[in-house]
Structure 1
């Protein structure tokens, strides 16, 4: 394998993307039930009243049942909105509709709250391609979450959501990569 972490990341992302696309609907449904239950447990153990959570793409761990559960319980959920400058805006998605953002990722429709809104949440739930045993996160290469987490003065706990096979021994690391505090899979919650 090449020594360049950027090349290693691209190779690993391609493998993980293919593995996700090859999952059966039954596996996906079973995983969604697990993710929803684990995320509910995480809310219970952290006491979070405000969370930020992404809207998943079809190949990603499905966050929508969890989001619906949280909102039904009065938990405030902030959704990321991508900006041209590489930062994230946030919305509570009060329009209850989705659209595809500029990078092809589903985004909630609603009033934009600006990049600083993330500073008020109790828990941040982020997507990932893989997480390693030290808490390093391999994202999908756009850097939005790394920039956001790296710019926060006081960051609440950050948990990444991945399938069980994506919790790995080690991921390639670059200077700008931000670790997470924990990982949520369909079968477990691990805090680092």
Structure 2
């Protein structure tokens, strides 16, 4: 396998399916100790005051499997004074949202996700977010995001208020030169990685 993102000629012709396969395999190979250290680093980034501030509202999600971050990250952000909204999968359409109220407020949902059990606020709750964290397998340097393929976020992100930062959470190695894009893909405005922190796209 080509080093992810290092050989543009080798990866330029990869399909989305090929990218997903390669990125998922790379994530599965990350040792648990590295994932833990990276989750701690991401939590420190989010509670530094440079990305989101006390009193603001963050739309987040509970990382599952090999996704960067951890559920503890949400508690750290909430303890920092940030209100946290979490997604609820509602059929095949845009995501619904509910407030995060601690680990005991979560229940299993579709795709192995953990979802809040509180009152659903509707798909338009995204409009109150000051910043939206977006899961991703990879992102390229123009903001093209590769998700898991269900399409929920591509349907949801257009519902945010204009100018809301859309920040994908990825490992440092998952910021690559170029990913395949389609017209319906919603580009993110920045990424956050464990070691490089917030990287904005012009």
Contact in 2 for aligned 1:56/1:64 (Cα 8 Å): yes
Q: 1:65 deviation in Å?
A: 2.7
Query: TM-score, normalised to structure 2's length?
Result: 0.85
- CA RMSD, aligned part only? 2.0
- C-alpha distance in structure 1 between counterparts of 2:27 and 2:101, whole Å: 30
Partner in structure 2 of residue 44 of structure 1: 50
* Alpha-carbon separation, structure 2, partners of 1:45 and 1:62: 16
Give a deviation string over 1:136-188, Cα, whole Å, max 9, x none: 11111011111111244525101000011111001110111011110001111
- 2:73 aligned partner: 66
Alpha-carbon distance in structure 2 between the residues aligned to 1:104 and 1:33:
22
Match of 2:111 in 1: 103
Structure 1 residue 10 displacement after superposition: 0.8
SS of 2:179's partner is coil
Contact 1:133 1:167 in 2 (8 A): yes
The DSSP-based 3-state class of the residue aligned with 1:103 is helix
Q: 1: CA distance between counterparts of 2:184 and 2:16?
A: 13
* 1:79 CA drift (Å): 0.1
Change (3 A) 1:172 1:122: same
User: Using the alignment, how far apart are the partners of 2:105 and 2:38 within structure 1?
Assistant: 24
Deviation at 1:45, TM superposition (A): 4.3
Structure 1 unaligned segments of length 5 or more: list them: none
Match of 1:146 in 2: 154
Q: 1:93 to 1:38 in 2, by over 3 A?
A: closer
How far off is 1:62 after superposition? 1.8
Matched, 1:54 2:61: yes
Question: Would you say the 8 A contact 1:123–1:158 is kept in 2?
Answer: yes
Structure 2: state its 5+ residue gaps. Answer: 1-8
Secondary structure of the structure 1 residue equivalent to 2:88: strand
